[in-house]
Structures are given as C-alpha cells and as structure tokens.
Amino acid sequence: MFTTRFQAWVRRNAQRIARLLGRLPITPNQVTVAGTLFTFVAAALAGFGQLRPAGIVLALSGTFDILDGALARATKRSYPYGAFLDSTFDRYSEGAVYVGVAAYFLDHGDAFMRWEVLACMAALAGSFLVSYVRARAQSLGFRCDSGIFARPERVVVTVAGLVIGVWWVLFVVVAVLAVLTNVTAVQRILEVWSQARAQRRAREAAAQAPAAGETSRL
C-alpha cells in the first residue's frame, strides 16, 4: 500500500477541498455517483481505443473517489448507506474499466488477443477478491488491511498504462494486475487465517485454564 506519509498528504488536501465543497448543495453520494459515471466514460473511451483520454478521465474519477469520503467527514454526513454505496459503485467502476480494456484488446485483433482478454479476466477476478476478502473479514471482526495492491495502487497503475497509450504496455500492466491482485487476495486470506488461529489458541488456552486450576487445588 502507499506510504503512511503519502496517505496523510492525500487526506489533508482532500479535507481542504471537501470543506470548500461542503459550502455547496452537494452530497457525498452525489460525488460517488459522479465519480462512477466518469469511470464509465473512461471505460467507453478505452473500448473505442482512446487510451490516453481514458487514462485522463479515469484519473479524474479517482479524485471523486477520494472526495466523497472526505466530504462525508467534513459535513458530518457519514452514514452506513453511504459507505455501502461507495463500496458497491467501486466494484462497478473496476468492472467497467476491465471490460473497456478487454473490448480494446478484442478490437485490436493481434496474435496475443486471447492472452490479453484472459489477463483482463484474471485481473478483474483478483480485484474483486481483494475487496471481497477485506469486506467479509471485517464483517466477521477481523482486521484485513495488508496486501501489496489495494485499490489506490490498482487505479494508479491502470491510469499509467492507459496514458502511455501503447497496446503492449497496457497488456503488461493488465498482466501485472492479474498477478498482483490475486497475490494481494492471498495475502489477506493468510492474514485472516493467522488471526483466526490466534483466536482459536486463545480460546483453547482459556478453556484449559479452569481445568489446570482445579488440578492444582487437588
């Protein structure tokens, strides 16, 4: 994941912009929806072969993804439904981008087309798994923040591949995403497994403690 210092810098600047936006009649959910619509535009541009414009629009949509949460905090309008909507639309956004890139590869029609589309499918599955594993783990009370390729990294790498605008570079980027997203999902699964094992051992130790106390009294 990005360094703590970089994350703090992004949050500080996002909060400043959010305080300005808070003076306007704009809700965090509207920002979420607007960001998703921009992502759909980026996906469509990619599908029609307009890679550089797609990268620019996708980068713009990323600012919406940061600002919706910052605006919710700045205006004290953080609600469970807002978090749910943001998470759900993030999945739609990622899916749309991979579909757009796959459509570009299909239209490109080179000898590597099969591998390019398979890489898009693997990257899409990995991206969804990274988010699902975290959401499911947190719903069960586990911490799940590890992994080398969370959503911010995926967006930055995808934007870079689109802006460069060369088909084989984009193929390499998607292949890297296909590998590293699934590696990240496995990292998070192992993190939760480690926490579950520690909890089980703690329960077993607690269960054995009364028995040991009774034996000592005898």
Q: Which residues are catalytic?
A: 90
Q: Which helix (H) or strand (E) holds 157?
A: helix 151-164
CA 182 to chain centre: 12
SS3 of 79-132: the string is CHHHHHHHHHHHHHHHHHHHHHHHHHHHHHCCCCHHHHHHHHHHHHHHHHHHHH
Residue 89 CA to residue 131 CA, distance in Å, equals: 12
Residue 82 CA to residue 73 CA, distance in Å, equals: 11
How many other CB atoms are found less than 10 A from the CB of residue 162?
28
Q: How far is CA 5 from CA 11, 37, 106, 157, 200, in A?
A: 10, 30, 40, 20, 35
